[in-house]
Amino acid sequence: MKKIAVFTSGGDSPGMNACIRAVVRTGIYKGLEVYGIQRGYEGMIEGDIKRLYSHSVSNIVQRGGTMLKSARSEEFRTPEGRKKAYDNLKILGIEGLVAIGGDGTFTGAKLFFEEFGIPTVGCPGTIDNDIYGTDYTIGFDTAVNTALEAIDKIRDTAAAHDRIFFIEVMGRDAGFIAVESGIGGGAEFVMVPETQTDLKSVVKSLKNLRKTKTSSIIVVAEGDDLGNAEEIMQKVKTAIKDPEKEFKVTTLGHIQRGGKPTARDRVLASRCGMAAVEGLLSGKTNCMAGVMNQQVVYTPFGDCIGKPKPLIEDHLKLIDILSI
Ligand code: F6P
């Protein structure tokens, strides 16, 4: 293998740049020509592909976003789009790919490999942490810390005014960001899609808590089965029936996707990037390089996207116990 290309796809996440840097520099270190594809599968289809050098990735390890830009490509879902992408790679003689992204990225990569056979190794880049085959995904730690900083600030004002705050965090269909920012932020409740939220018991507990606490923080994962934070707040407010109690909602939104990656994300990104290139060179394909129990592991794309990743046992119990 002489030429490889790297791209970022789907929702960006802090640490993607550190991962690109690791892919480029490991590739060059191993004697490869490395190319960067702009805007994920979109750029592959349009042939927006450029050679990257060691200096091309200088001064990006600390930056959020992705220097290669990212997109969600509708055209790549079609056989015609994938054929165009393959033709562009063929023209440049690209023999291997590193795909940095989440489940949508790996679904596309798996299909593309099955159709055209270009070896591909993935790196888990998403704030959601919803990828099987790695303990954490690149960007998750930064997103949790961003959410936590916001929760801390909201707690100050919640306490000052004796208010109940519902804070909605991202995560798509997963509750990892909610759980970890909830534990770190001392939330009274965390509502996640992985468990069914029992509204009656939340209302009962909130009423009981009022004997000892005057303000409360409830972290709501965006994918919760009871609805979004605003809808849940309205249901709780109606059930509590206390005209003197004030309820507020804050949706943190895309602030969670940006910012300087934490050290943990930069190290994870660098390890996965290096492992992806080493994996390609040792003949691995159709799999993702992740880190589990401190060790680099390669997991087939089929498992990464097909197997559910459970929340860490004890985390929800921890919130119940520590919020009394
Ligand atoms: O997958 C990352 C993520 O930020 C999710 O947490 C969220 O549901 C989604 O992307 C938002 O996507 P977009 O930026 O396209 O609105």
ipTM of the complex model: 0.98
Which of 13, 70, 128 to probe ligand 1 with, by most ligand atoms within 8 A of CB?
A: 128
pLDDT of residue 10: 96
Atom index in ligand 1 nearest the CA of residue 222 equals: 8
- Please, which pLDDT band fits residue 244 given cuts at 50, 70 and 90? confident
Mind listing the pLDDT tens digit for each residue in 204-227?
Answer: 988 887 778 889 999 999 999 999
Is residue 251 within a helix (H) or strand (E), and if so which, with residue range?
Answer: strand 246-251
Mind listing the pLDDT tens digit for each residue in 97-156?
Answer: 999 999 999 999 999 999 999 999 999 999 999 999 999 999 999 999 999 999 999 999
pLDDT of residue 143: 98
pLDDT of residue 313: 85
As annotated, the active-site residues are 128
Sorted by where each begins, the domain ranges of the chain are 3-139+261-306, 141-257
pLDDT of residue 136: 98
Mind listing the pLDDT tens digit for each residue in 54-107?
Answer: 999 999 999 999 999 999 999 999 999 999 999 999 999 999 999 999 999 999
- Please, which pLDDT band fits residue 183 given cuts at 50, 70 and 90? very high
Global pTM reads: 0.97
pLDDT of residue 208: 84
Ligand 1 center to residue 13 CA distance, Å?
10
Long-range contacts of 43-50 (CB under 8 A, 24+ apart): 43/7, 43/68, 43/69, 43/71, 44/7, 44/76, 44/85, 44/88, 44/89, 45/73, 45/75, 45/76, 45/81, 45/84, 45/85, 45/88, 46/88, 47/88, 47/91, 49/5, 49/88, 49/89, 49/92, 49/94
Q: Is 15 annotated as a binding residue?
A: no
Which of 39, 192, 257, 309 to probe ligand 1 with, by most ligand atoms within 8 A of CB?
A: 257
d(CA 141, CA 322): 22
| CA distances in angstroms from 218 to 150, 162, 187, 314, listed in the order given | 13, 14, 6, 18
d(CA 127, CA 73): 19
pLDDT of residue 103: 96
pLDDT of residue 282: 98
- Please, which pLDDT band fits residue 2 given cuts at 50, 70 and 90? very high
Ligand 1 center to residue 293 CA distance, Å?
27
DSSP 8-state code for residue 258: -
Burial 140-176 (b: 16+ CB within 10 A, else e): bbbbbbbbbbbbeebbeebeeeebbbbbbbbbbebbb
d(CA 266, CA 50): 24
CATH of 3-139+261-306, one of 1.10.357.10, 3.40.50.150, 3.90.1150.10, 3.40.50.450: 3.40.50.450
Mind listing the pLDDT tens digit for each residue in 307-323?
Answer: 999 999 899 899 989 98
Atom index in ligand 1 nearest the CA of residue 13 equals: 2
Taking residues 219-241, report their average pLDDT: 96
Q: What is the CATH number of domain 141-257?
A: 3.40.50.460
Q: Are 79 and 87 in contact (CB under 8 A)?
A: no
Ligand 1, CB cutoff 6 Å, lining residues: 11, 102, 126-128, 170-172, 222, 257
Are the folds of 3-139+261-306 and 141-257 the same? yes
Taking residues 19-31, report their average pLDDT: 98
Q: Is 223 annotated as a binding residue?
A: no
50 contact partners, CB below 8 Å, separation of at least 6: 35, 36, 38
The amino acid that residue 269 corresponds to is A
Mind listing the pLDDT tens digit for each residue in 250-259?
Answer: 999 999 999 9
Ligand 1 center to residue 209 CA distance, Å?
33
Taking residues 39-47, report their average pLDDT: 98
Atom index in ligand 1 nearest the CA of residue 256 equals: 4
Q: Is 191 annotated as a binding residue?
A: no
